[in-house]
Amino acid sequence: MAVSDRAPVLTIDGPSGAGKGAVSARLAQRLGWNVLDSGAVYRAVALAALDRGIDVDVDREALVELARGLPLAFRAGSDGIEVELDGCLAGDRLRSEAVSVMASRVAVLPEVRAALLDLQRGCRKPPGLIADGRDMGTIVFPDAELKVFLQASVEERAKRRYKQLKSKGENVILSRLFQDMQARDRRDRERAVAPTVPAFDAVVVDSTRLPLDGVVQRIIDLASCRFDI
Ligand code: C5P
């Protein structure tokens, strides 16, 4: 077995808005581990497909080919993890609405998910990996030493998203965000491939009333029982 296969993995799965990204970045910093943002991987496939004019409904083969050889790299930047696609920083383009919609369309295709497995598993390198996503503990790293499922109430997640978008000057309506989030949760939970559900051996952490520092500390406490940290 290669050294990289033995590197420990801590998976953080859960619905959007539960705080996985912020928690994963803090954990990676505290432990000095690598981090995989698997949502960014799906977003990168979507962005690269849009850039190349690939029609998801027509040219499935080109999409799978693209996913298999995705020219993607993660770099530690001054502002957290930066994503490089085709040798250039992807920046805000990765978070645009068009890319979000396309990402959720490519993410339901089993052949695309299969094509991205090696890339994601390749991130498992010493001293360890924090893997953030929806199916990290169930499919990508079923043998992870610690699996966390981070959840929060829909109301709280919609409120967080509202504050975030307002601070960026976007004109949004809370009740609309709440409805969108409920619909997205249902789609993610009930989809046939890689649904967002806790692994049978995951520890569920609820961040509804727990601030970021509290969530991070709770996971560090769990991790210190499982890892030599
Ligand atoms: O988390 P984020 O919003 O960046 O994810 C982008 C898209 O990729 C979403 O549609 C999400 O459902 C999908 N995704 C996935 N599996 C993962 C991570 C994200 O299907 N492990």
* pLDDT recorded at residue 6: 81
Position 80 scores a pLDDT of 66
* Cβ(107) – ligand 1 distance below 6 Å: yes
For the CA of 42, the closest atom of ligand 1 is 8
The per-residue pLDDT for 143 is 97
Give the phi and the psi of residue 24 in degrees, each rounded to 5.
Answer: -65, -40
pLDDT for res 229: 81
pLDDT at 57: 87
pLDDT at 75: 76
Q: What strands lie across the sheet with 146-151, from one edge to the other?
A: 34-37, 129-133, 9-13, 146-151, 203-206
Strand partners, 206: 151
Residue nearest to atom 6 of ligand 1 (CA): 39
User: How confident is the model at residue 104, as a pLDDT?
Assistant: 87
The predicted pLDDT at position 77 comes to: 67
Q: What is the pLDDT of residue 73?
A: 86
State the helix-helix crossing angle for 38-51 and 97-106, rounded to 10 degrees: 100
Q: Quote the ligand 1 centre to 167 CA distance (angstroms).
A: 23
Distance CA 74, CA 41 (A): 10
* For residue 127, cis peptide bond before it (omega within 30 degrees of 0): yes
Give pTM, 2 decimals.
0.92
Pick the CATH number of 8-224 from 3.40.50.300, 3.10.350.10, 3.20.20.70, 3.40.50.2020: 3.40.50.300
pLDDT, residue 4, reads 45
Q: What ligand 1 atom has the least distance to the C-alpha of 120?
A: 21
Distances from the Cα of 214 to the Cα of 30, 211, 228, angstroms: 14, 5, 21
Residue spans of the chain under pLDDT 50: 1, 3-4
Q: Is 38 in the pocket of ligand 1 (CB under 6 A)?
A: yes
Asked if residue 135 has its Cβ within 6 Å of ligand 1, the reply is yes
CB-ligand 1 contact for 43 (6 Å cutoff): yes
pLDDT confidence of residue 28: 92
| In the chain, where the domains are located | 8-224
> What's residue 100's pLDDT?
86
The pLDDT of residue 78 is: 66
Distances (CA, A) of 46 to 62, 77, 89, 99: 12, 22, 15, 6
